[in-house]
């Protein structure tokens, strides 16, 4: 039985609206191959899309669905939302059969790390997204594209990996790419990470960083300028509340409607967790299950 798949790239016009948390697809169709006709069609569609507060996007792909998948992958990376996808109201009649979403550079990197028996996870903040490799010493290696600081791009847009050792004590370079060849670059960064994981100095617990509260404060204050004290679960440093100088609760988990985005909360908890040991945080009298971190003043 033969399963012939179309592997010929052609240009597709995708019309819809980026709604912040998803993309509402209005239509997708092959772009005219005649340059004059293409220009006319794009102008007409562009006017209609502008009137409806939408956008016209162009993608080269092998099918309508592959083109839309590429666009969604790029928009997901830009938004920083892992669940960014087509909205329920999207017009999907012209998409054709289901196809897998294209693998991102981050997917390819994590597969290579897993193949080398290296645990990793993804994380993001307002500065971009990254693959995080925890080290035995309690520090981490952060890996991202060295130009865009993201991991969600398509292989064709890869500019080179950059990996840094990060702790509350110091930051140092682990790997800087010399090529945009994704295969060779990924192999090289995995080898550099492996060398760091096996380095004896990274198997000894790091001392408490003097400026940890400053690092955490820089995460909190852009969202909660009056924050003075964090309360956390003493067992795993899950953030439970944020207080001002008077002791008033200005943010609480899990249902506070305003304040800290989930990705920022995750970064705060990870920083606190790096230092979860006696003397790192202050126990709350009468509450053995709670600890406090007093933030550095702005």
Please answer whether residues 268 and 230 qualify as being in contact, where contact means their C-beta atoms are separated by less than 8 angstroms: yes
Q: Judging by beta carbons within 10 Å of its beta carbon (0-12, 13-18, 19+), is residue 11 exposed, middle or buried?
A: middle
Q: Provide, rounded to the nearest whole percent, the portion of the chain with pLDDT above 70.
A: 80
Strand-pair partners of 230: 242, 293
Stretch among 51-65, 260-274, 277-291 having the lowest mean pLDDT: 277-291
Instruction: Kindly report, residue by residue over 188-217, the tens digit of the pLDDT.
Output: 999 999 988 877 655 555 444 545 677 788
DSSP state string for 263-290: HHHHHHHHHHHHT-STTTSEEETTEEEE
Q: Model's pTM, two decimal places?
A: 0.46
At residue 120, does pLDDT exceed 80?
Answer: yes
Checking 245-252 for CB contacts under 8 A at 24+ apart, the result is 250/224, 250/226, 251/224, 251/227
């Amino acid at each position: 039985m033969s399963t012939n798949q179309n592997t010929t790239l052609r240009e597709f016009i995708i019309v819809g609206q980026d709604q912040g948390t998803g993309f509402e697809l209005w239509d997708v169709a092959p772009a005219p191959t005649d340059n004059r006709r293409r220009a006319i069609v794009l102008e007409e569609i562009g006017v209609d899309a502008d009137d409806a507060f939408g956008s016209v996007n162009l993608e080269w792909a092998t099918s309508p669905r592959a083109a839309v998948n590429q666009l969604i992958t790029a928009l997901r990376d830009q938004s920083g939302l892992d669940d960014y996808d087509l909205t329920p109201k999207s017009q999907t009649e012209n998409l054709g059969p289901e196809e897998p979403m294209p693998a991102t550079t981050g997917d390819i990197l994590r597969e290579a790390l897993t193949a080398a028996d290296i645990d990793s996870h993804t994380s993001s903040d307002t500065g971009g997204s990254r693959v995080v490799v925890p080290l035995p010493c309690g520090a981490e290696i952060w890996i991202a594209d060295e130009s865009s600081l993201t991991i969600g791009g398509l292989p064709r847009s890869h500019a080179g990996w950059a990996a840094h050792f990060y702790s509350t004590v110091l930051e140092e370079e682990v790997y800087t790419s010399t090529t945009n060849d994704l295969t060779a670059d990924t192999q090289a960064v995995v080898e550099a990470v492996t060398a760091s994981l096996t380095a004896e100095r990274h198997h000894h617990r790091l001392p408490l960083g003097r400026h940890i509260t400053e690092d955490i404060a820089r995460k909190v204050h852009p969202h909660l300028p009056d924050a003075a004290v964090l309360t956390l679960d003493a067992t795993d440093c899950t953030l439970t509340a944020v207080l001002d100088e008077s002791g008033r609760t200005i943010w609480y988990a899990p249902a506070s409607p305003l304040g800290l985005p989930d990705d920022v909360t995750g970064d705060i908890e990870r920083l606190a967790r790096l230092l979860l040991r006696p003397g790192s945080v202050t126990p709350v009298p009468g509450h053995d299950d709670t600890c406090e971190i007093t933030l550095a003043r702005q």
